[in-house]
Amino acid sequence: MEWSTEKRYLPYEKWSAKTLLKLQSQASNSPYQLHYHIRPKSGLLNDPNGFSYFNNEWHVFYQSYPFGPVHGLKSWEHCVSKDLVHWKDLGTAIYPDTELDSHGAYSGSAKVIDNKLFLMYTGNARDAEWIRHPHQMGAFMDKNNHIEKLPNSLIEQPQHTTDHFRDPQILEHNGKYYCILGAQDKATKTGKIALFEAKDIKGPWHDLGYIDFTNEEMGYMIECPNLVFIDEKPVLIFCPQGLDKATVKYENIYPNMVLVGDKFDFKSAQFDSKNPIQNLDDGFDVYATQPFNAPDGKVYALSWVGLPDLTYPTDIENWSGCYSQVKELSLKNGQLIQKPVSTIKNLRQEEVNFTGELETKNQYELKLEVAASQKTTLHIAADEANTESLKLHIDTTNGELILDRQNSGFTVNEKYGTKRAIKLPKNTTLDLDIFVDHSLIEVFVNDGEHVLTARFFPKKGSNKLLIDENIKFKGQYWEMADI
C-alpha cells in the first residue's frame, strides 16, 4: 500500500468504519499478536504517554495511528490497569481535532492535579507551507475519563530551538511545576533538553534554558526526555537521535539512553553526574521509554518495543509495535537496575521444571540459572529440526551473553545487525529471567543489571525451547496467562 503524505494525514472522519473494523480484526487475529503485553487495537503504536496513577488505577496512553503500520496522524489511546499487568484498552482519548494539534496529538505525560489527571502533550500543527508548529498543550481528565483540552498552547516554540520541540514531561518540585522537553538547538542543530517553570499549571511558563547534563554533543535531536528520582538521585532517560557512536556505543538506528546523576538543581537546570551515559536496554528495539515516580514510592517504566523509521514483519498485517512489560527501576552502585514488575508473577501458570527441551506456546517465563564456566546456546521458538531459532549464546567462562536473531524466522532490520552482546563478570553464575510473548522477548540479566528486549518473528509452528550441550543449569518455566 502506498502511504502518501496526504493519506497519512487524512482526518479520522474520512476513513471508513468498515476499514477500521477490518484492521482491528486483522490485528487481533495475527499469530504475532502479543498476549500479555500492551499492543495496538489496530495500526501503529509508538511512544507510551501519560503513564500515571489516578482514581485508583494505573493509566498509560499509547501513541496511536489506527489506520496502518506507519507514522500517520496520531492520537492517544487510553489503557488502564489495577495491577500494572492486566491492561484494558478503553479506546481513543485524545484526537488530533483542534487547530493546535491538527497534525497529531504527539507524546506527553500526566500528573494528578486538583483531583484530575492533567495531561500535557505536543500538539503538532502544520501550516499551508507544511511548516511545523509545535504547541505544548494541556488537558484535564476527570474521574469519568472525560477529557477537556485547554484552548491555548501552554508553551510555544522558543527562539533558541527549531520546530523540533516536543514530548513534555511534567514535574512538581517545591510547589512549582516544571516541564522538560526534547529539543533541537537552533544555532547548533544539536539535541537538547529544555526546561520550563510555572507557578500555575496553565502558565505563564518561563524558559529556564537547557538542562546542563553533559559536555558531549547529543546528536541532532533529543526525543522523549524524562527525569525521575530514584533514592533521591536524578535519573535522565532520553533518546538522542543521531548521537555519535564514538560518544556512546550503540547499534540500533536510534538509541534510548540513561544517565544516573548525583544532583539536579531545578533553578539553574544543572544536572551533576559522575556516571557515563549508557544504553538503557541492550537488545534491538527499545525506544521512548517513559518512567515515572509512582505514589507507592516506586519508579516504573514502560518502553515502546519498536523504533522510528524502521519496518517490521507485521507491517503486511497492517499493524506494528507493542510495549514492554512494566519495569521497576532502582539503583545499585550508581547503576540503573530494571526488574520485571513484581505482579507479572500473577500471570504464571503451573511451574514446570525445564530440563533442556520443551514444547511451548511461545508465551512463557523462563528463569534460568547457569553455573560458572559453562558455554551453551538457548534456542527460543525453534522449529522441529532446530534449523531456525532465536538464540541466546551463553558463556559464563568468558562472561558473555549474545542475543542472536539471525535465522530466527522472518528477518527484522538486519541492516542494524543481528546480534546484541553484553559483557558479564567472568566465571560467575548467570541468572536470566526471560519473558517470551509470541513475537517479543525480554531478557532480564542478573536481577536486572541488564535487559535485552527484542521483537522476533518465528515461522508458524516454531515453538520449541531447547538448550544445547550438557551443561549445569537450573530452569523454571511457566506458561503465562493472557491479559
Candidates 3, 5, 91, 398: give the one binding a copy of itself (CB under 8 A). 91
* Least distance from a copy of itself to the Cβ atom of residue 99, Å: 17
Region 10-69 residues binding a copy of itself, contact defined as CB under 8 A: 11-22, 24-26, 28-29, 31, 66-67
Amino acid sitting at position 291: P
Measured CA to CA, the distance from residue 24 to residue 325 in angstroms comes to: 22
Measured CA to CA, the distance from residue 177 to residue 197 in angstroms comes to: 6
* Least distance from a copy of itself to the Cβ atom of residue 375, Å: 38
Query: Which CB, 91 or 295, lies closer to a copy of itself?
Result: 91
Name the catalytic one among 47, 282, 285, 433.
47
Question: Is residue 209 a contact residue for a copy of itself (CB under 8 A)?
Answer: no
Q: Is 308 left (phi over 0), alpha (psi -120 to 50) or beta?
A: beta
Give the interface segment with a copy of itself, choosing from 81-89, 196-204, 326-334, 393-401 (CB under 8 A): 81-89
Query: Which CB, 86 or 367, lies closer to a copy of itself?
Result: 86
Number of residues that bind a copy of itself (CB under 8 A): 34
Q: How far is CA 424 from the centre of its chain?
A: 24
Bridge partners (DSSP) of residue 101 are none
Contacts of 291 (CB under 8 A, 6+ apart): 51, 226, 228, 235, 237, 299, 300, 301, 329
- Residue 137 class from Cβ within 10 Å (0-12 exposed, 13-18 middle, 19+ buried)? buried
Question: Is residue 414 a contact residue for a copy of itself (CB under 8 A)?
Answer: no
* Least distance from a copy of itself to the Cβ atom of residue 314, Å: 15
* Least distance from a copy of itself to the Cβ atom of residue 194, Å: 33
Query: Which CB, 447 or 482, lies closer to a copy of itself?
Result: 482
Which long-range contacts does 247-251 make (Cβ < 8 Å, 24+ apart)?
247/216, 247/217, 247/218, 247/277, 248/276, 248/277, 248/278, 248/279, 249/279, 250/279, 251/416, 251/417, 251/420
Measured CA to CA, the distance from residue 50 to residue 59 in angstroms comes to: 7
Question: Is residue 6 a contact residue for a copy of itself (CB under 8 A)?
Answer: no
Query: Which CB, 89 or 383, lies closer to a copy of itself?
Result: 89
Q: Is 89 a catalytic residue?
A: no
Q: How far is CA 296 from the centre of its chain?
A: 21
Query: Which CB, 25 or 342, lies closer to a copy of itself?
Result: 25
Question: Is residue 249 a contact residue for a copy of itself (CB under 8 A)?
Answer: no
Measured CA to CA, the distance from residue 453 to residue 20 in angstroms comes to: 30
Candidates 7, 8, 70, 92: give the one binding a copy of itself (CB under 8 A). 92
Give the interface segment with a copy of itself, choosing from 89-97, 223-231, 255-263, 419-427 (CB under 8 A): 89-97
Region 129-158 residues binding a copy of itself, contact defined as CB under 8 A: 144-145
* Least distance from a copy of itself to the Cβ atom of residue 382, Å: 21
DSSP for 329-369 reads EEEETTEEEEEE-GGGGGGEEEEEE--SEEE--SEEEEEEE
Query: Which CB, 73 or 358, lies closer to a copy of itself?
Result: 73
C-alpha cell at 34: 502479543
Region 258-277 residues binding a copy of itself, contact defined as CB under 8 A: none
Candidates 7, 8, 71, 86: give the one binding a copy of itself (CB under 8 A). 86
C-alpha cell at 90: 478503553
Q: Shortest CA distance to 123 belongs to which of 165, 177, 162?
A: 165
* Active site members: 47
- The footprint of a copy of itself (CB under 8 A) covers 11-22, 24-26, 28-29, 31, 66-67, 78, 82, 86, 88-93, 95, 144-145, 481-482
